[in-house]
Amino acid sequence: QPLITITDIGRKYVIGAETIHAIKSVTLTINKGEFVALMGPSGSGKSTLMNILGCLDTPTKGEYILNGINVSQMTDSELAEVRNKEIGFVFQTFNLLPRSSAQDNVALPLVYAGISKKERDERATAALTNVGLANRLHHKPNELSGGQRQRVAVARALINNPSIILADEPTGNLDTKTSIEIMGLIEEIHAKGNTIILVTHEEDIAQHAHRIVRMRDGLVEDDYQNQDIKTVA
């Protein structure tokens, strides 16, 4: 069933006398359990679309329904609430708190959700165990490798059981071998039924996705099922 329905959305930026149409018109349906790669050249509108999909921004025209909720015209605080509940983010730069342990980083979304310390610790431990970091609970980010840091970020993204994982260039700061490991982890998460949207510049990385959406000049130029899915296992 559709998890994301966006209909003729646009996003323009008005800067003085100039108007930039970052997204001209995009209509897209993404079903529960899909694994989609979003590609396109620099300036094509990928970040703008990801910001809208991730409820960090709202479109200036059109409609966005996420998991049955019309988020098109929400205020910032309403969006923040939807974001905490529905979206797990994974970034190129990991975005971990440098002074907090792996366990505390993973548990952070549960603090906002008002869950007790005991339950937070238990759930964060389980989530880190699931990404292969049971023996790194109390390490800080600078005591972990790049791949381990991204595993922590993936565990954090999953901790609230979000309806979508949005991964923005998740392998952008990793070497080839580590990138493949992280793609293997994302494949496992997809196989458990999660919906994944991955932004990447790299064709090799996009080939792990089951569907590829290519943007150009604020429009969807191409949208197709990947016939040649690459898997790590």
Contacting residues toward ligand ADP, per CB under 6 A: 13, 15, 20, 22, 40, 42-48
Name the token pair of 86. 């529905």
Residue type at position 228: D
Give the DSSP letter string of 139-163: --GGGS-HHHHHHHHHHHHHTT--S
- Give the nearest distance from C-beta 28 to ligand ADP in angstroms: 15
- Give the nearest distance from C-beta 161 to ligand ADP in angstroms: 26
Residue (57 or 121) nearer to ligand ADP, CB: 57
What backbone torsions phi and psi does residue 29 show, to the nearest 5 degrees?
Answer: -120, 130
* Cβ atoms of 139 and 102 closer than 8 Å: yes
What backbone torsions phi and psi does residue 51 show, to the nearest 5 degrees?
Answer: -60, -35
Residue (44 or 67) nearer to ligand ADP, CB: 44
Overall size of the chain counted in residues: 233
- Give the nearest distance from C-beta 62 to ligand ADP in angstroms: 16
Collapsed DSSP state (helix, strand, coil) of residue 100:
coil
Residue (125 or 179) nearer to ligand ADP, CB: 179
Q: Residue 85, Cβ neighbours under 10 Å: how many? A: 18
Nearest CA to 41 among 227, 204, 157, 199? 199
- Give the nearest distance from C-beta 107 to ligand ADP in angstroms: 27
Residue (42 or 75) nearer to ligand ADP, CB: 42
- Where do we find the tokens 């699931």? 130
- Give the nearest distance from C-beta 11 to ligand ADP in angstroms: 8
Residue (60 or 100) nearer to ligand ADP, CB: 60
